[in-house]
Amino acid sequence: MKKTVFSLLMITLLLAVYGTASAHFGMVIPSDSMVMQGENKTVNVKLSFSHPFEGNGMELVKPNVFKVMANGEKIDLLGKLHKIKVLGHTAWEIDYKITRPGVYMFYMEPKPYWEPAEDRFIIHYSKTVVTSFGDDEGWDREIGLKTEIVPLSKPFGLYTGNVFQGIIKLDGKPVPFGEVEVEYYNKDGKAESPTDYMVTQTIKADKNGVFTYAAPRSGWWGFAALNEADYKIKYDGKDRDVELGAIIWVQFHDWK
């Protein structure tokens, strides 16, 4: 009887801890989302995996895929990544020189991440968009990832309070009433959440897979549309569920 009570208490405690924890986010964060004439043409792009609001990092082994899509061409950048630390954990970065006007979509497909707390694997297809030298054609193009958020608002040049809209896609098709987790990248650790419920905000898409969000604070915001894969990955001799995340990172600016 005592063992049963103890087990129930431990389960309750774990649910409380993980129920209020912030969400996982694959992160692709550039040093600049809008490269203008006369500015530094080299953009530093950092790849990491973390709870971005609370500043809790996780290990990111070298991704399966890291590319940039520019002017309709996909360029493999995987071999140019350098290992670094972000939030005390393994991460990656690249210094990429912008050589011509256009829209540059940086994206990664990580190796599956085993999350014991959720008894599942996590694969977050993560991307961000950088524009340069006044050319903003093609910001709404699809990369063609397994799952992807396709922007319906320009994913750059947004004021704080502007609405960002996107459509959730899985295997190229919209996901009706898909769930999207939204979290602020609390880079300097100065932002505080009034309650644990507000660390990660959750919204739902409409019947066409379209979601809408207005950011209340300047900085980088992550949008994660989560779906369950139609396949399993074996771990410890058992078939485990796989969470597929479509992640896009968008920067909002104060109008000073």
The 3-state secondary structure of 29-61 reads EECCCEECCCCCCEEEEEEEEEECCCCEEECCC
Read off the pTM. 0.90
Q: In the prediction, which pLDDT does 13 show?
A: 37
Coil, strand, or helix at residue 69? Answer: strand
pLDDT above 60: residue 73: yes
Q: Please report, rounded to a whole number, the percentage of residues in the chain having pLDDT higher than 90.
A: 82
Q: In the prediction, which pLDDT does 100 show?
A: 92
Six token digits for residue 43: 């953009």
What is the pLDDT confidence band of residue 39, given thresholds at 50, 70 and 90? confident
Lowest-confidence segment of 15-29, 74-88, 167-181, 204-218 by average pLDDT: 15-29
Q: In the prediction, which pLDDT does 68 show?
A: 98
For range 46-73, the mean pLDDT: 93
Q: In the prediction, which pLDDT does 24 show?
A: 85
pLDDT above 70: residue 1: no
Domain residue limits, the chain = 2-253
* Per-residue pLDDT tens digits for 111-163: 999 999 899 999 999 999 999 998 999 999 999 999 999 999 999 999 999 99
Nearest to 185 by CA among 247, 245, 108, 251: 251
* Sequence-separated (6 or more) residues with CB below 8 Å from residue 110: 26, 49, 60, 61, 63, 64, 123, 124, 126
Q: In the prediction, which pLDDT does 22 show?
A: 53
CA-CA distance, 112 to 155, in Å (whole number)?
27
Per DSSP, 62 falls in state P
Six token digits for residue 174: 């919209």
Q: In the prediction, which pLDDT does 184 show?
A: 96
What totals of helices (H) and strands (E) does the chain contain, helices first? 1, 21
pLDDT above 90: residue 228: yes
Q: In the prediction, which pLDDT does 6 show?
A: 40
210-214 and 201-204 as β-strands: parallel, antiparallel, unpaired? unpaired
